[in-house]
Amino acid sequence: MMRHSSTHAAPVHAPAEKRAAPRAGGLVAAIAKSRETTLFIVLLLLIAGTALARPQFLNLQNLRDVLLNVSIISLLTAGMTVVILMRHIDLSVGSTVGVSAYAVGSLYVAFPHMPVLVALGAGLAIGLVAGGINALLVAVGRVPSLVATLSTLYIFRGADYAWVHGGQINATSLPDAFSRLATGVAFGIPTLALIAAAVLIALGAYLKHFRGGREHYAIGSNPEAARLAGVNVERRVMSGFLLSGAIAGFAGALWLARFGTVDASTAKGIELQVVAAAVVGSVAITGGVGTILGATLGALVLGVISIALVVLHVSPFWEQAIEGALIVAAIAADTLLARSVAKRMMRKRDHG
């Protein structure tokens, strides 16, 4: 009789424990998914509301402008996301874009028949150098990323001003093949948007499916635990800043193709838009939470707001005010969500 009782008790208790774990994991997964779904709904509501107020908003030219404008911002936001996931920030991306754009333009002035791939590679290389400087300061020099990248923001911009010395690169200096990166269309979609989408998909896959990508999340969640688990934190932080710099340099070359004319003030202040897009896209500033999809949706939301305000003839001041309000709302939502999840987990542990 005793033997029958003990063998019956074990199977009943074991499934209960197995069911509890997936439920907790399912809760976190549902929350992560709902944040991106919420952003997508907000995006649709913005488009629908603007279209109701101004039916001419829904035309191919506005759609093309949104895609072209958001393509570069979304690239920079993706690079920023990798850094923010590790509890760091890269404020030098705007200056890196400016230096890269002018450098690639100068190469075309000196070598008019330079292949497009070489031009894009040159922008990428310049970005890698800038990212390498940030990586050394933060990972090796132990300088807080906010201080380090704020310093390099001014250093890179100052070097750009000294180099440009009041000059500029004009669209007439660029070959048609390079300009078609922004003016060309494939399958009805601007070529620039397709290039950005390819980079975003690749980066999203890296963060989700590769060990190196998952280590970025581990560092952001708990750096000491990640170190104890065998993660080389310094090396991964360096790779994050190198990746952010490389993407910024690549985006600088695309910026040149998009706008044609560049000077020392190119992309000045764009780093604030990038941080705003990342935060609005549910990338937690405290690290460990966020996706490339969410960051891209954040960039799209801000891009649609920008175009909508122009169509609605609203003062540009409101764009900055709305961006600021969205950042506050996103951070507040992150805080409330974190507290809610913590309370739920404590209740489950107490009941267990």
CA dihedral of residues 44, 50, 56, 61 (deg, nearest 10): -50
Of all helices (H) and strands (E), which one includes residue 339?
Answer: helix 317-351
Task: Encode pLDDT of 326-348 as tens digits.
Answer: 778 877 777 777 677 667 777 77
Q: What value does the mean pLDDT take over residues 204-225? A: 94
| pLDDT at 338 (0 to 100) | 66
User: Is the CB of residue 95 less than 8 Å from the CB of residue 164?
Assistant: no
DSSP category for residue 155: H
- Number of neighbours of residue 60 by Cβ within 10 angstroms: 8
The CB-based long-range contact list for 340-347 (8 Å cut-off, 24+ gap) reads: 341/27, 341/28, 341/31, 344/27, 345/24
Task: Encode pLDDT of 159-189 as tens digits.
Answer: 999 999 888 999 999 999 999 999 999 888 9
For 230-256, the DSSP string reads T--HHHHHHHHHHHHHHHHHHHHHHHH
Task: Encode pLDDT of 99-145 as tens digits.
Answer: 999 999 999 999 999 999 999 999 999 999 999 999 999 999 999 99
Please, what's the b/e burial string for 305-320 (b: 16 or more CB within 10 A of its CB; e: otherwise)?
bbbbbebeeeeeeebe
CATH architecture of 36-351: Orthogonal Bundle (1.10)
Is 7's pLDDT higher than 50? no
Amino acid at site 201: I
With H, G, I as helix, E, B as strand and everything else as coil, classify residue 186. Answer: strand
Can you tell me the distance from the alpha carbon of 252 to that of 98, in angstroms, rounded to the nearest whole number? 6
Can you tell me the distance from the alpha carbon of 81 to that of 60, in angstroms, rounded to the nearest whole number? 30
Is 8's pLDDT higher than 70? no
| pLDDT at 30 (0 to 100) | 52
Task: Encode pLDDT of 262-274 as tens digits.
Answer: 999 999 999 999 9
What ranges do the domains of the chain cover?
Answer: 36-351
| pLDDT at 14 (0 to 100) | 41
Is 282's pLDDT higher than 80? yes
User: Is the CB of residue 94 less than 8 Å from the CB of residue 270?
Assistant: yes
The pair phi, psi for residue 90, each rounded to 5°, is -125, 95
Confidence of residue 35 (pLDDT cuts 50, 70, 90): confident
